[in-house]
Amino acid sequence: MIELLSIPSLILTAVYLSVVAYLIKGWNAISAPQVKASGFTTTVTVLIAARNEEAKIHLTIEDILAQDYPKHLTEIIIADDHSTDCTSAIISSYADRGVKLLQMNEDKPLNSYKKKAIAKAIDLSNGELMVATDADCRMGSKWLSTIVGYYEMHNPVMISSPVTYFEEQSLFERMQTLEFCFLIGIGASFIGNKQASTCNGANLAYRKDVFYEVGGFKGIDDLASGDDELLLQKVAVQYPGKIGFLKLYEAVVFTHAKPNLKEFLQQRRRWASKSVKYKDKRIIALTVSIWLFNLSLVLNALAGFYDIFFLNFFSCNFY
């Protein structure tokens, strides 16, 4: 009994420590970059796909309009993805300030309305650089100029930038923040190791011509999720080493954790659905390995009631 549990636990611990070492290496490979502070020339299109976001979308729009990036180089397109509330009316109220509304009216059901909305917005855009975020996000006034400053100085074809939760109201939401920071860090570490695999669509920038060059969302448009990671993986194949992670506070986008377990699980099921399209199966193997390691901690803790050996083993793994 002891060997049956301890040997796999030792193997999983070794794998986990190797993964942690790999991630630390990648994270440390990314330094806080120098960014251009003035003299911008890049035309930018800010892309948002929104559905039933009447409660907070005005805050996001106000934050984008308050950016210190030159207004004559900025375009804002928000696609209303079949909202049933006042989202469309709120977006339209900003028309005199340059916010463009794209009203989605699909006549047949789709698996991913969001990808369709983003693709249509890109078709209508005039910018060289697409900067995607979500309708419930907040950002500082230097968000856009920091992203473009990095783009003009380092010439990446795609930029993944940090996303975090804020305004947490409960322990459950604070725990999500900790876990979400870990996920963002994993994405950054893979980019640092020149193996770009994960990112978050709430803060993702890419060249318009590159989007078309990789076929846009073709081949991944049958999934509800994946407008971020799966697109990044397509770009990584054609442009290895040309994807950057912007490790600067000014580039951070803030959003909210899920308020309850039901919404949290729905979010994670949606995220998990895109794993079937991962070309690099090592990412799936990594995820499974970490999950098994965490499971082994639980099993050793429970087995500790049967034999003190397992409790000691659990303590060594935990600490």
Q: Residue 315: count other Cβ atoms within 10 Å of its Cβ.
A: 12
Cα(129)–Cα(109) distance, rounded to whole angstroms? 30
pLDDT higher than threshold 60 for residue 312 = no
pLDDT higher than threshold 60 for residue 23 = yes
Supply 151's token pair.
């783009």
Render pLDDT for 226-264 as a digit per residue (tens, 0 to 9).
Answer: 678 899 999 999 999 999 999 999 999 999 999 999 999
Reading across the β-sheet that carries 138-139, which strands appear in turn? 138-139, 253-255, 163-165
Render pLDDT for 174-192 as a digit per residue (tens, 0 to 9).
Answer: 999 999 999 999 999 999 9
Cβ atoms of residues 94 and 77 within 8 Å: no
pLDDT higher than threshold 70 for residue 2 = no
Render pLDDT for 122-152 as a digit per residue (tens, 0 to 9).
Answer: 999 999 999 999 999 999 999 999 999 999 9
Cα(305)–Cα(301) distance, rounded to whole angstroms? 8
Cβ atoms of residues 191 and 238 within 8 Å: no
Cβ atoms of residues 6 and 297 within 8 Å: no
Render pLDDT for 30-76 as a digit per residue (tens, 0 to 9).
Answer: 999 999 999 999 999 999 999 999 999 999 999 999 999 999 999 99
pTM: 0.87
Secondary structure of the chain in HEC code, one letter for each residue = CHHHHHHHHHHHHHHHHHHHHHHHHHHHCCCCCCCCCCCCCCCEEEEEEECCCCCCHHHHHHHHHCCCCCHHHEEEEEEECCCCCCHHHHHHCCHHHCEEEEECCCCCCCCCHHHHHHHHHHHHCCCCEEEEEECCCEECCCHHHHHHHHHHHHCCCEEECCEEECCCCCHHHHHHHHHHHHHHHHHHHHHHCCCCCCCCHHHEEEEHHHHHHCCCCCCCCCCCCCCCHHHHHHHHHHCCCCEEECCCHHHCEEECCCCCHHHHHHHHHHHHHHHHHCCCHHHHHHHHHHHHHHHHHHHHHHHCCCCHHHHHHHHHHHC
Cα(304)–Cα(6) distance, rounded to whole angstroms? 12
Cα(44)–Cα(49) distance, rounded to whole angstroms? 16
